[in-house]
Structure 1
Amino acid sequence: MLVLPAFLLVVVVLLGTNEYAVARPSRRTADLAYVPAADPDFDTERHRLDVYAPRAKSATARPVVVFIHGGSWNSGSKDFYSFIGRRLAKQGVVAVVINYRLAPQVQVPAMADDCARAVAWVVQHIADYGGDPQRLFLMGHSAGGGLAALLATDNALLARRGLAPNPVRGVLLDDPAGLDMYDYLKKLQYAGDEEYLIPFGKDPAVWKATSALYHVTAASPAFMLFIGGETYPSISHSSEKFRQRLRQLGREPKFTVLPGKKHAPMVLQLYWQHNVIYQELLKMVGA
């Protein structure tokens, strides 16, 4: 039988108590299908999302944040990120945490379309949960950051799902991957880079089409980027390129480097409700 050390047991109890305290002010509606079950592409696990809404009543509809998880385009689940939904709901936001299909089942264009379909569902249904579809924001970490940026900049993705003009009002990117996969996959300069040819394929035209850097315009919504000071060089480089492109368009984003942070801790720090990323996100959405 495994016996936890006393100090670790205390930590587990404290974290569990804290999670319960955070959960109480929020209401989770889990595993809602955002693709009809009759759709030939319907995936019973991946075409699901969770809605986290504040329990407290509000005289006005609340801002909405859709969170897209990372995982190198081949892993990850909304179920791991319930802490983000809970903490956003506790702070007056209606949060939506989504799943989407992954490689090798599908490639990135299909993942982006899944995310677009999830956003379309949110626009149609979020008022039922107290959210305002006119105040819709995106948030993503790693691969999810790249997908969030693509949804916000490639208007055709959402237009194909009946959302024209693009309803996204702002985007927070947390250590985003995939902002410029065209440049990244042309170089293949890091060990193991060939694995990304599975989700992105071998066609350079697709690499460019799925990279937000090549879609952003002066009409794109506001961006906010948080980058780990010790993240992967490719993320630092592509994020800076994205920042410079926005600057050229007269859309200077809020760009913050968090010293000492590696890639995974950039999202794990969101366990703490008063984290600087939440503070800035709440300002963006007006919560």
Structure 2
Amino acid sequence: MIFLRLLWQIPFALLILITVLISINEYAMARPSRRTKDISYTKNAASNSDAERHLLDVYAPRKASASAYPIVLFIHGGNWNSGSKNLYAFIGRRLAKQGVVAVIVNYRLSPAVKVPAMADDCAEAVRWTVQHISDYGGDSARIFVMGHSAGGGLAALLATDDQLFTKLGMGKNPVKGAILDDPAGLDMFDYLTKMEYPNDEQYLIPFGDNPALWRSMSPMYYVHAGGPPMLVYTGGRTYPSIASSSQRFRQRLQTVGVKHEFTVLAGKKHIGMVTQLFWKNNIIYHDLLKFVGAGL
């Protein structure tokens, strides 16, 4: 019995220690930044149940600056049916600490809506950012989008599909560049046409059964000459579908002449591609800060 009690107590004590260390680290990261939570970015929520999914958080540097800071709007992943901005405070803190105003967004999820509504939500979050980010020290002329997994696919759509903004009454696409972290959904038309992997039918819930919609929600087919520059990262041990679609996306960027950098991070799995952003010396942050002009 004593041995069994010890087995239970050791993990619990370790959990407490880890929690304390994370809290201390969070406090250390929080000091240089100012967080404003749960800002509604749309006035057109379909129902009260949508309110939480139409919220964003802003993380701004506390340090005064002679010029406005660049903006990175981060879109979480989660298979198009899960995820929350609340899980990614560490990205907001890290970016703000390094001279970037971070906007971390929620959007509606499947099965309540399909991917076109998710893309519309993210476009509305960008519009809110254009209109209000100067109140937080941000430069509305330097808005970059970033996302992991499904969020990476949505970020790529924002950067390539100008119609997402013209239908909001915006004269031009305000996205100046994209940072795609192990992006999913770059070519769902190809993916869902082939159905090569187990359980692929699950993606018919967020994407529907109409091939025309699969194509319309695939950034691959919107890449065009003169499009914004991109940083694209994939894990060396990520899912085969993400590895192959990212390579084809890279080829498309090359073909039309879009400025980009493509990096494979050896040994990284899909989840590790986002959890690595907990450390400020991560290569993605290193490249990102130069890409968005932080410190300029």
Measured against the shorter chain, the TM-score band is over 0.9
Do 2:91 and 2:278's aligned partners in 1 also have CA atoms closer than 8 Å?
yes
TM-fit CA distance, 1:166: 0.7
Alignment of 1:209-228 (within 5 A): 209-228=216-235
Aligned to 1:48: 55
Distance in 2 separating the partners of 1:41 and 1:63: 33
Q: Which runs of 5+ in 1 are unaligned?
A: none
Percent identity of the aligned residues? 62
CA shift, 1:194, in A, is 0.1
Shift of 1:253: 1.7
Aligned to 1:255: 262
Amino acid of the residue matched to residue 84 of structure 1?
Answer: I
For the residue of structure 2 that corresponds to 1:284, the secondary structure is helix
1:141 matched residue in structure 2: 148
Give the aligned partner of residue 9 of structure 2: 3
Is 2:113 the partner of 1:93? no
The equivalent residue for 1:245 is 252
Instruction: List per-residue Cα deviations over 1:209-231 (Å, max 9, x = no partner).
Output: 00000001012100111100000
Q: Answer whether contact 2:228 2:259 (CA < 8 A) is retained.
A: no
Superposed displacement of residue 179, structure 1 = 0.2
Shift of 1:250: 1.6
Aligned mate of 2:135, from 118, 123, 128: 128
CA contact (8 A) 2:45 2:51 kept: no
Aligned length: 286
Offset at residue 32 of structure 1 (A): 0.3
For residues 4 and 193 of structure 1, the distance between their equivalents in structure 2, rounded to whole angstroms, comes to: 41
TM-superposed CA distance for 1:164, in Å, is 2.3
Match of 2:241 in 1: 234
Is the 1:120–1:162 Cα contact (8 Å) retained in structure 2?
Answer: no
Match of 1:166 in 2: 173
Q: Compute the displacement of 1:4 (Å).
A: 4.4
Looking at structure 1, the residues matched to 16 and 159 of structure 2 have their Cα atoms a distance apart, in angstroms, of: 43
Deviations 1:99-146 (CA, angstroms, capped at 9, x unpaired): 000000000000000000010000000000000000000000000000
The answer to whether the aligner puts 1:118 opposite 2:158 as a matched pair is no
Question: What stretches of structure 2 of length at least 5 have no aligned partner?
Answer: none
Letter in 1 for 2:46: P
Cα distance in 2 between the residues matched to 1:30 and 1:3 = 36
**Helix, strand or coil at the partner of 2:238:** coil
Q: 2:70 aligns with which of 26, 51, 63?
A: 63
Structure 2 counterpart of 1:186: 193
- Within 1, Cα distance between the matches of 2:106 and 2:19? 27
TM-score scaled by structure 2? 0.93
Q: Which secondary structure state, in structure 2, belongs to the residue aligned with residue 45 of structure 1?
A: helix
8 Å Cα contact 2:45/2:54 also seen in 1: no
| 1:260–1:275 CA distance, 2 compared to 1 (3 A) | same
Structure 1 position 161, deviation (Å)? 1.4
Distance change (3 Å), C-alpha of 1:48 and 1:7: closer
The 8 Å contact of residues 243 and 252 in structure 1, kept in 2 or not, is answered as: no
The one-letter amino acid of 2:78's match is G
